[in-house]
Chains A and B, each alone.
Chain A
Amino acid sequence: MTARNEPLSVPIIASVGAVVIVLLPYWKQILLAFAVAVAIVLAFTLKNFYLFQLTLALIYALAILGLNLLTGYNGQFSLGHSAFFAIGAYTAAILMEQGNVPYYWTLPVAGFVCLVSGYLFGLPALRLEGIYLALATFALALAMPQLLKFTPLEHWTGGVQGIVLLKPEAPFGLNISSDQWLWLFTVGVSVVMYVCAYQLIKSRTGRAMMAIRDNPIAAKSMGIDLSLYKSLTFGVSALYTGVAGALAAIVIAFVAPDSFTLVLAIGLFVGMVVGGAASIVGTLIGGLFVLYVPNVAEYFTKGLSGAMYGLILIGTIYLMPSGAAGLFRLTLHRLITRLASR
């Protein structure tokens, strides 16, 4: 399947990217160009293994961005986004394995499937608030691995064993490893999705989402359709996380029910809070945190890695109660006021 790799994905991503990027303010375009340049330099300087890890961190960041749209910007809790991550990953895997679909076409399909399932889950979730919603989504996260192992579905999901995929090679006969190519591919997809998220937040819709978070009653009296916006936000949030899941399936080239347990759900939630709720760039820090901090904890204390992880987590919350993004904003604010008072 990977032998003849139609490089269609590149022009598609590039053209969509061009359209959404043109609409950004100038200084954001410059920042973005700088970030992409760094990503390209990294692709040719890092070892494949580190590049693979960074790719995963970026994928987690994308999933966290989905969660952040829901929790940070719309004020709806979810401890169950691992479920949408799993749906996206399995959609991609099943399409590639059973349907011989090229890997890049699985992303829009996975996104659409998750949009619909997120919207549908968002409907009953409309009746729930705060801690109750957290619990209902928690239930979803728990149920997902069991559903994936469910015997009648085994033909498609591969049961407990999961599905092993082929790792895509670089197209155009480019002389780069598949890890390098997948990193660039993930960066391309992420740029498009991050810019879309940014535009969404800055739009009328984004303001409506935040109005609902800050004061639902006031938002309603201003004519915002609460149930429509809340369930649609759920759908879009699931779409982001689902695309991240599909990317993960492609990059890791393997899906199994036990990769999508509560641990992932909690990891995404922790990543969001550490990066900063209602922050788009903060999700990148969240992604790095999810990937590296458990490893760091493991490295320093073999038997007590869980305790170490917990301590790092508590320390992070003490130091940055509003996440990395909050700390950054605060520092910037202090710096500006100090410079201005001089």
Chain B
Amino acid sequence: MELFVNQVLAGLATGAIYACMALAVVMIYQAIDSLNFAQGEMAMFSTFIAWQLLQWGMPYWAAFFFTVGISFVAGVLIERVVFKPVQKADILSHIVIFIALFAIINSGAGYIWDFNIKPFPSPFGTRELFGQRLISSHDAGMIGISILMLILLYLFFAYTRVGLAMRAAAANPESARLAGIRVGWMLALGWGMAAAIGAVAGMLIAPRVFLEPNMMLSILLYGFAGAVVGGLTSPLGAVIGGVSVGVVENLAGTFIPYVGRELKLTIALALIVAVLTVKPTGLFGRTVETRV
């Protein structure tokens, strides 16, 4: 029983990482109505910027918010420079451009900061929380910040004019334009916000996995898994989905002999396919009605 509790808690801590990433994935999905395959690399690059600022002697929280700001601007720029010219191209071309961005950012980060792993500090310390062995203070802080981001996002989308306009632009671009919303800029804003959330996720994850250009690859996949399990249209679902993917992954690794350890990733992915087959919009997703 103690093993079970420990594994669930360890799963919660890993799940918090996935939840952070899943939240960023859902954010950009709401804003641009498409999955961003380069999201993990963008988060990784932001984290490297934060690391560089810290190396130059900036205090942690200053570097944190500065990085979030830079990431926001970079996200807007990527949308304006790379995606605006191919706005009318089909989704296939968009996916290829995501792949291209992935390659560019990954190789660029490797070129600037090399591929050696670097430690990244945690603002919460890595000691055990309140002296018990179950969960470290960094994990607790990470879960706390994820929940805080979730609440802020909810307030933003539910109660501000800009949030409403962004939702309208993503849901129905034509009608939104007729209602006087500048759809193009809403898209750019969505990119900026997703980049900023990705930066926060990256900086929270880095103390746990060490900083290097490929650190986000598997995390992004689990983030996708979490987002899809929870439903791509629901930020709350993304967090719950991310956490449950972490827990399931950990429990399967411990309790299913042989299969669990070697096929950890496969099990997590089988979970996605299973959930999608039963409920194609994810556990908390809205079903979209189509008019014939």
Contacts and interface: CB of A to CB of B under 8 A. Distances in A.
B130 interface: no
A44 to B, nearest CB: 37
Instruction: Determine which residue in B99, B108, B262, B265 has the highest number of CB atoms from chain A within 10 A of its CB, and name it.
Output: B99
A270 B99 contact: yes
B107 A135 contact: no
Given A139-B269, A313-B99, A128 B280 contact: yes
Given A304-B111, A313-B100, A134 B35 contact: yes
A79 B269 CA distance: 14
A151 B276 CA distance: 29
A7 interface: no
Given A130-B91, A305-B107, A306-B107, A146 B273 contact: no
Interface residues of B, number: 43
B162 interface: no
Contact of A310 (B91, B100, B221): B100
A152 interface: yes
Interface stretch (B53-61, B81-89, B235-243, B247-255): B81-89
B280 A129 contact: yes
A318 B277 CA distance: 36
Q: In terms of DSSP, what is the predominant structure of the interface of chain A? A: helix
Instruction: Determine which residue in A135, A272, A304, A318 has the highest number of CB atoms from chain B within 10 A of its CB, and name it.
Output: A135
Contact of A143 (B82, B97, B266): B266
A186 to B, nearest CB: 27
Nearest to A132: B276
> How large, as a class, is the contact surface on chain A?
35 or more
Contacts, number: 127
Contact of A311 (B89, B96, B100, B102): B100
Instruction: Determine which residue in A138, A217, A314 has the highest number of CB atoms from chain B within 10 A of its CB, and name it.
Output: A314
A135 B292 contact: no
Interface in A165-179: none
B153 interface: no
A143 B89 contact: no
Contacts of A314: 82, 97, 100
13 contacts: A128-B277, A135-B276, A136-B273, A136-B276, A139-B269, A146-B265, A266-B99, A272-B92, A273-B96, A306-B103, A313-B100, A317-B97, A322-B90
Given A147-B266, A269-B95, A310-B104, 12 more contacts: A127-B277, A139-B272, A142-B221, A304-B107, A304-B111, A306-B110, A311-B104, A317-B93, A317-B97, A317-B100, A318-B86, A321-B88
